[in-house]
Structure formats: structure tokens, C-alpha cells
Structure 1
Amino acid sequence: MAVAHGAGKHLAEREAPLPALTAGPWGARLGVVSVVACLGGLLFGYDTGVVNGSLRPMSEELGLDALGQGVATSSLVFAAAIGALLGGRLSDRHGRRTVLVALAVLFFVGAVVLVAAPGLGVLVVGRVLLGLAVGGASTVVPVYLAELAPHEIRGSISGRNEVAIVVGQLAAFVVNAILGVTLGHLDGVWRIMVAVCALPAVALFVGMLRMPESPRWLVARGRRDDALAVLRQVRPAERAAAELARIERSVAAADDRGRARLRLVDVLADRPLRRILVAGIGVAVAQQLTGINAIMYYGQSVLVESGFSEQAALIANVAPGVIAVVGGLVALAMMDRVDRRTTLILGFSLTTACHVLIGIASSVLAVGDPARPFVILALVVLFVGAMQTFLNVATWVYLSEVFPLRMRGLGIGVAVLLHWLVNGSLALAFPSLLAAVGMSGTFWLFACVGAVALAFIVRRVPETRGRTLEGLEAELTAR
């Protein structure tokens, strides 16, 4: 390995700067590609957020008890863990674009099954199908965007997916609120809430049929001419040729090391690759341990617990969705200006402080105090804003760029698999945790976990901003 690592370091040192990005139609084409691909993120957000307001009418119509509610909510999330792992591996084998087309079909079929569900069994089948699609999208879309974007604007291009996710969640909250207020008397109102997601699934399918494949995947499969044609669509002409040459050198170096198609055991046996994998897993898991998706899935229940009525909580629940979108737009604006490590450290510091404040407020303000629901709502909004501004976008951008090409599908698949497993565990356990230790104890626990996550980021996470994917790979594997 010493020779291979030395070769990687030498490659990083001798790379000449790429030609500058000049103005041209390539920018508009790249923008269209990112919008279409981010429909996968929009579906991710809607399908995970719609349960927040549809769970109560769904439970009333289908007769779901507390366990049934937990199973219905978490089944999508646990299936997403499998979808994330499969999505990464399948995209390595069949291409990013091809897998995204298949995921669009899965999103549509899952929505149809869910709308027609007569009971919990079929309901879970529909949720599992949607979960597989959500997990696959969470893995493939960030990688697809990162591999198509120039390194100078990779953060803002890749980060659009996370903004699309929170836009999807906000759309779910708004649709839930409107339908809950206007059609809440109907038994099947939750079916209408779910059916809405079929529309962007059709748009994703049609749109991705016209989008290009990842040039890095094409080079790895020996399709040089196809890769150059794609780069000429999304780069200035001079830059396209130079970037292709750099990608080819990176792929050739990987082939020379005999690691073009890595297994997990290969990664674990290689110290630099193992460090990269641990960093990626740590960032993915830490982001979930903030409890953000407990708010996104059970936000209405948290607000009812704080003192709002059910209908008022359904409407108030839109506020965290709005601040999430605002925070995501702020994050995009700073993603190519502020280092990833700095962003992550700020994020975990702020979210942990919010956990402490929510814990204090729920302890000091007694149940029945008219100020309690509004103070807790304000702190939840502050937490979601900090989370979205500093952690959510940064996490997905980081995962899309930290793994070397030869282990990218595997690496992000494993990291996002564990991300979804933690997500699902919290989704299943949160109602019981809230009942057992109360709101104060729940958020104090989140604060303790946040402090541990902050220490991990400081010690174990390398910087990735401002480097080409090929240069970053050579740098990290040479350590």
C-alpha cells in the first residue's frame, strides 16, 4: 500500500489547475440537470414529511394503536436503510441516471399501493416501497450531482438536493394543514395527502430520461467519448477536455491499485479508506442523532404535548417547515464560501444549545402555562433553522464528495444505511421515549448525544471544500 499511497500523493502534487469556468450555456444546462435530479429529493421530503399530519386520520380510519402507528411510521424509514445500500451499489453497476429512472417508478407504485391500502398490512407494503425509493434517492441524487458539478460550485449544486428535501417536507406540511382544515371530516383525507406525491414521481421519470449520465461513471466503464460529450454539455469546451483527462488519470490510478470495484472487506483492510468510511458514517449518524426527524415525523405530537390543540398544532407545524427552507437557502449561499468542518462544528454547537434550551423551557414552564406552547414552538423553530442552515445541507454535500470514486457507491451506501437505521430507530422509539421521560428528559438526552457528536467532528472529520473529487481522493488516500 505504501507505493500506492505515494503514487496518490504524487498525483495530487503534479495536477495542474483546471481552466477557469467561463460564462456560457453550460451553466443553464447544469441548472436544468440539478432541478430534475432534485425531484428525487422533493419526493424524499414529501414522503417522509406527509406522515406528520396524515398519521392521526390514518390511525382513526384503520384503527391503528400506538404500536401500529410506530410500525407505519418507521417501516418507511427502515426500508430506506435497505434502499440506501442497494441504491449505492446499483448505481455503481448500472449508472446513476438509470437508477434514478427506476426510483421514479418505485415512488409512483408505492404511492398507488398506499392510497389503496385497506389495512395495516398493505399500508406497510406501500410504506416499504416508498422507503426503498427514498433511501435510493438519498444515496444516488447527491452522488449524481457531485459528479456532474465543477468543484468550484459543487457545494451549492449538491446542496440543492437537501433544499429540495425540505421543500418537499414543507409541501407535505402545507398540504396536510390545508386538507386537514378543509377536508378533515372525511375518512379518507389522508389518502389524498399521500396521493399528491405521485405527480413529482411522474415528472422525475420523464425528466431523467432526458438527462445525461455521470461522466465519472462513464469513464470508469471505459466510455470515454460518452463522458466527453456529457462534460461538453455542462462545462466550457476547454475545461471539459482538461477535466476528462484528470478523471481518466484518477480512474487509471485506481485500476493500477486493483481497487476499481471494492468490497466492504477491502475498505476495512485499507487504513486510509477505513478512516474515510468512519468519517462519512460518523457525519451521517451524528446528523440523525440530533433528533431532527423526530420533529419532522412527530412535530404535531410534540406541539400537542407542549400545549397546542390538535388543529392548532397542525397549522403551527408549518413554521418549522418554512424555517427549514429558509435555512436551506442560506446554507446554499455559504456552502462554497465556508469550510465543511466549520459549518458542521457550528451546526452541532447550535443544535445542542437548542436542545438544552428546550429541556429548560419544558421543565420551567408548567403544563397549562399559556406561554409554554409558544416558547417551545419558537425553540423548535430555532432548532430546525440551525439544523438546516449548518447541518443538513452540509451533511449530504459532505457524503457526496468525501468518498473516492472506486468506493463512492459503497461508501455512501453504507453511511446512509446506518443513517437510516438510526433514523428508523428514533422514529420507532420517540413516542415511547417522550412518554417515559417527558419532553425535558428527551431533549436533555439529545443534548448529551450532540456534545459527543461535536467532539467526533472536531477530531475525525477531514476537510473537503475547494478540491476536485480527484484531487481530494489522492489527498485523503495518501495519508
Structure 2
Amino acid sequence: MNKSQQTNLRSIILISTFGGLLFGYDTGVLNGALPYMSLPNQLNLTALMQGIVTSALLLGAALGAVICGRLSDRFGRRKTIFYLAALFFFSTLGCTVSPNAEVMVLFRFLLGLAVGGASVIVPAFLAEISPAENRGRIVTQNELMIVSGQLLAFTCNALIGNLFGENPYVWRIMLPIAAIPAIILFFGMLKVPESPRWLVTKGKNKEALQVLHRIRSKGAAKTELLEIENAYREEVNLDKATLKDLSTPWIRRLVFIGIGIAVVQQFTGVNSIMYYGTEILKDAGFETKAALIGNIGNGVISVLATFVGIWLLGKIGRRPMLISGLIGTTFTLLSIGICSNFFAGTAFLPYLILFLTITFLAFQQGAISPVTWLMLSEIFPLRLRGLGMGVSVFCLWMVNFLIGLTFPILLAQIGLSMTFFVFVAFGVLSILFVVKCLPETKGLTLEELEMNFRKHDQTSIDITTDHQTLS
């Protein structure tokens, strides 16, 4: 690969991962905007409406992840991302000018469709455009852009809140900043080529080779095209799993584990901090402006911990990494609950809560989140990948939606301490699930994993048969 081809590939990766940046910014910006939106002379949001406004995006994301994946199969990855950029832009403007909570909920839902679509299509596009030897590193750059987008949102919120915080309309300055990366993504995608793999699925093999020539050496381009063509022929002839296949025990167990991995990642309560971090710090005792500044620490540690998590994935097993992360997050949440009671009303409490939320995110982003997405990509054999990933990611977004909806209600009704004790209970259940049900996938091929599950299924049948014979 010459310098020109390397530059082309880097440009494609940079532009397309602006979808991840938008994902992060739009899920993080409400963290600082919500206190101002809730004021009586603004949208006058109750605790319930705060939850609805926040979670409307998450409900939209659950649907967007399902719908946009199919649209990208029909119209192409590039074109779908292009249209998502337009949806990001117009939904952001709609949120900015919303005159009331009902209109805000509508545009947050539309924004969620774009977020969900980006969460599925951008990683798929990166995987299909990347050289095999660099695929893992390139695809994880999207996760890095997501947490960078959240950090950008927290930083902008702090700057704007401290400069213009006396103006109750300050939230209308925070929200439209997301329009800038949406414009970059929109015009950038005009120059980005289509996925060569998608082109092959549509019989456009010559166009696929032209794309590969832009980002690979001549020999590598021809070799990769042959690999794509062979893989596609195998996939076309593959009898893919459907919901009817859930009657098969080993398939049902695999899908159950996939859903469990997705739910565990949300049961830690991570997004209660990412969405309501400013409210949590305010509840602990910070003023709004100080809470906005403190929340930057949550964003910084998320970015740094993601680097650590990517490095750790190549060093240790998935199970010990996930169990260690869950023990760390659960203990930290327990500490938040205890300290909120023990140090209530003291000047020390806000700083202690800030330290603990930063510690929590170090465990979450450094261990749990990287393992979640890696295991979801590893655990399903090719025949099950569409069904397994679709169901698992949908459940992940729906649990995210429920937490986003109920957290401010819990905070208002039972207080900071008891709310985090609820997440501690979820954390204990998550640890038990991982210890009892989760297999180790490090170092195993997809075929070996499938064989292990088939053997487990057969062993269970044999044991049952022997027991019935003895009876």
C-alpha cells in the first residue's frame, strides 16, 4: 500500500467515524442541557418528562438499529450513512427550536433513529473497508469516537454553561453544536466510496475492485476481491437461522447468552451517569456550573479507559476481564450509595461522588464495554450472527431506554443513595450470570465455539436420557 492509498483509507475512516462522534455527542449533550431545559420558563420538565425526553432518543435508537441495518443492505452503507447525516442535522435543529416538551420528544426520537443507525452501520462499513490485519484496531476507533463525542459534549456544556449560565436559554446553544459534525459527515460521505463487499453482493464486482485499488496495493486488491467473492458465495448458500431455530437448545442457549451480555453492560447503570451525570453531581451538592465542569472528568476518564480496554483485550481472557470490571463497578456503586448517606450535607460529599463516578467509568469503559462488543461479535457462528446480533443489540437498546426513562424518577422518589443500591443489586446478578453462564471465547474460532455449544447440548440430552433410563 503506497502513501496515497494509506491517505485515502485514513480519510475514509476519519469521515465515517464522525457518525460515532455524533452518536457520542447527542447521547451526552443532554447531560448538561437538562438542568436548564427543566426550568419553569423553559420546557418545565418534571422528573417523568426528563426521563421521557432522555429515553425518546434511546427508543428511536433501538428501532434505528433494526431498520437502518436492512436499509443499508438494500441501498448501500455509504448512501445510508449519507442520509443519516442529514437526519442528524435536521433532528438537531428540531431539538434546538422545540417550543415545548412534546416537540422535543418527537425530535429526540428522530435523532435516536440516526444514532441507532450509526451504531450499526458505521462499524459494519469500517469492517468491510479495512484490511484484515488492521480490522480490529480500525473498528474500535468508532468506540473511541463515541466516547470522544461524549467528552466533547461535556466540555462544550461546561464552557457554555459557565460563560452564559445566567441565561436560561443556554441549552439552545448547547444542542446545535452537533450540527457541525453532521455537516462534515454529510459532505464528507460524498467523496467516500461504497463498501466493496456490498458492491459484490449487488454483482458490481468491477466497481468493488476499483474501490479496493484506491485503498490497497494492486496485488492485495485482487486477492481481497477473490476472498470477498468466495465469502459471499458461501454466505448465499448458508441456511441462516430464524426465530424458529430457537427451538434448538444450543441455539437458544447462545442467543440467551448474547442477550445476557448486552443486558449486563446496561445493568451497571453506566448510562445513568453518561446521561444524568450533571444531575447526580448537583444532587450531591455541586452548583450547576461546578457540576458541568466536574462532568468533564467523566468524559476524560472514559476516553483514557477505552485506550486501556483496547490494550487489555489482547492480554487477558474475556471472562476475567468482564468479572473484574463488574466487581469494580458494583463495589463503586455500593460506595456511592453508602457515602451519600454517611456524608450527606457535607462539603466533602460532592468531590467524593465525583471521584467515585470517575472510578466507576474507569472500570466500565476499561473492561466491561470493550468486552461486550467484542464478545457479541465473537460468540455467534456465521449462520446465527444475523439473528443473535439483531436480538442482542435490540435488547441492549431497550434496557438502555428503560434505565434512561426511570433513573430521574428513582432519583426524585427514593434519592441518590437508594437509586444506586438498586444498581448494586443488578450488579450482583450480573456477576452471577457471567460466572455461571458465560464461556471464554479468547483464542477460539467461531467453528470451535459452535462445536463446544453443540457438545454441551448433546451432553445435556445424554444426561437426561440416562436419568430417565435409571428411573
Q: Return the offset for 1:163.
A: 1.3
* Greater displacement, 310-319 / 334-343: 334-343
Most deviating of 117-126 and 92-101:
92-101
AA at the equivalent of 1:255: V
Question: What's 2:328 paired with?
Answer: 350
* Structure 2 equivalent of residue 37 of structure 1: 16
Q: Deviations over 1:431-453 (max 9, x none)?
A: 22223443333223222322332
**Contact 2:243/2:387 (<8 A) preserved:** no
Residues 160 and 325 (structure 1 numbering): CA distance in 2 closer, same or farther, change over 3 Å? Answer: same
Question: Does residue 146 of structure 1 match 2:124?
Answer: no
**In the alignment, is the contact (CA less than 8 A) between 1:156 and 1:335 conserved in 2?**
no
Q: CA deviation at 1:172?
A: 1.0
- Match of 1:379? 356
Q: For 1:235-314, what aligned pairs fall within 5 Å after superposition?
A: 235-259=216-240, 264-265=242-243, 268=246, 274-314=252-292
- Helix, strand or coil for the counterpart of 1:370? coil
Distance 1:304 1:146 in 2: 41
Q: C-alpha distance in 1, partners of 2:7/2:330?
A: 39
Deviations 1:294-319 (A, max 9, x none): 00111111112222222221221111
The residue identity in structure 2 corresponding to 1:289 is F
Which residue of 96, 104, 119 corresponds with 1:123?
104
Distance (whole Å) between structure 2 residues aligned to residue 214 and residue 339 of structure 1: 32
Matched, 1:177 2:155: no
Which of the numbers 422, 425, 434 marks the counterpart of 2:402? 425
Residues 274 and 216 of structure 1, relative CA distance in 2, 3 Å threshold: farther
Distance in structure 2 (CA, Å) of the matches to 1:245 and 1:302:
54
Task: Say if 2:426 is the partner of 1:445.
Answer: no
Cross-structure match for 2:346: 369
Secondary structure at the counterpart of residue 90 of structure 1? helix
* Aligned pair partner of 2:310 in 322, 332, 351: 332
Root-mean-square deviation (Å): 2.7
**1:415 corresponding residue in structure 2:** 392
Structure 1 unpaired stretches of 5+: 1-21
What is residue 43 of structure 2 aligned with on the other side? 62
**In 2: Cα distance, 1:214 partner to 1:267 partner:** 31
Matched with 2:463 is: none
Identity over aligned residues, as a percent? 45
Kept in 2, the 8 Å contact 1:147–1:215? The answer is yes
* TM-score (ref. length: structure 1): 0.85
Considering Cα pairs closer than 8 Å and 6+ residues apart, tell me whether 1 or 2 has the greater RCO.
1
CA distance 1:253–1:477, shift in 2 (3 Å) = farther
Amino acid at match of 1:46: Y
CA contact 1:91–1:409 (8 Å) conserved in 2: no
For residues 144 and 277 of structure 1, the distance between their equivalents in structure 2, rounded to whole angstroms, comes to 24
CA contact (8 A) 2:259 2:392 kept: yes
Tell me if the contact between 2:35 and 2:279 (Cα under 8 Å) persists in the aligned partners.
no
The answer to whether the Cα contact below 8 Å between 2:20 and 2:118 also exists between their aligned partners in 1 is yes
Deviation of the 1:339 alpha carbon: 4.5
User: C-alpha separation between the residues in 1 aligned to 2:215 and 2:92?
Assistant: 34
Whether 2:188 is the aligned partner of 1:207: answer yes
Number of aligned pairs? 450
CA distance in 1, matches of 2:218, 2:449: 29
Map of 1:113 onto structure 2: 94
For 2:200, the aligned partner's letter is: V
**Which SS does the other structure have where 2:38 is aligned?**
helix
In the alignment, which residue of structure 1 is the partner of 2:81? 100
Return the TM-score normalized by structure 2.
0.86
**Which residue identity is paired with 1:291?**
G
Query: What is the rounded CA distance, in whole Å, between the counterparts of 2:311 and 2:4 in structure 1?
Result: 22
Instruction: Tell me the secondary structure at the aligned position of residue 317 of structure 1.
Output: helix
What residue identity is the alignment partner of 2:62?
A: A
Separation in structure 2 between the aligned mates of residue 282 and residue 236 of structure 1, nearest angstrom = 42
Q: Which residue of 1 aligns with 2:28?
A: 49
* In structure 2, C-alpha distance between the alignment counterparts of 1:179 and 1:442, rounded to whole Å: 30
What do the CA deviations read for 1:6-32 (whole angstroms, capped 9, x no partner)?
xxxxxxxxxxxxxxxx88655443332
The residue type paired with residue 292 of structure 1 is: V
CA distance in 1, matches of 2:8, 2:432: 41
283-292 or 264-273, which moves further after superposition? 264-273
State the distance in 1 between where 2:303 and 2:49 align: 31
1:225 equivalent to 2:202? Answer: no
Name the CA distance, whole Å, in 1 between partners of 2:83 and 2:384.
22
| Partners of 1:47 and 1:197 within 8 A in 2 | yes
Kindly tell me: are residues 357 and 192 of structure 1, through their superposed partners in 2, closer, same or farther at Cα, counting changes over 3 Å? same
* Residues 188 and 450 of structure 1, relative CA distance in 2, 3 Å threshold: same
Secondary structure of the residue aligned to 2:106 is helix
Q: What amino acid does structure 2 have at the position aligned with 1:256?
A: N
The alpha-carbon distance between structure 1 residues 138 and 464, as it changes in their structure 2 partners (threshold 3 A), is: farther
- Give CA deviations for 1:278-336 in whole Å, capped at 9, x if unaligned: 34332222111110110011111111222222222122111111111111222334444
- 1:81 aligned residue: 62
Please name the residue that 2:169 is paired with: 188
Q: Which amino acid aligns with 2:367?
A: F
The letter for the 2-side match of 1:48 is T
Q: Return the letter of the residue paired with 1:80.
A: A
